[in-house]
Amino acid sequence: MRNDARRLIRRTLAVVVLAFAVATTTWVILTLVRLDRAAAEDRPEATHRLEREPDSRSWSRLASGLGTIFYVQAQRSVL
């Protein structure tokens, strides 16, 4: 009985941590995209799409990688 309660607490904590990681990653991605768009509007010479994409792609890769790390860590703590 006591082990079941501990397991439930651990799983609940893992879900909370995972939800926080997803929310934080989403917030970071949206903030970086918004900042990238604002920077692109300030540079009228960067009107071509390919000139703006490398920055946004690298930021989204970083945020995606962080989200993956948080997800894997949360899964390990549940198992």
Is 70 exceeded by the pLDDT of residue 36? yes
Over residues 38-58, the pLDDT tens digits come to 766 665 544 454 455 555 556
Question: What's the mean pLDDT when you consider all of the chain?
Answer: 74
Distance CA 71, CA 65 (A): 10
pLDDT band at residue 30, thresholds of 50, 70 and 90? confident
**Burial status of residue 48 (CB atoms within 10 A of its CB: 0-12, 13-18, 19 or more):** exposed
More confident residue, 34 or 21: 21
**Mean pLDDT computed over 5-32:** 88
pTM of the model as a whole: 0.47
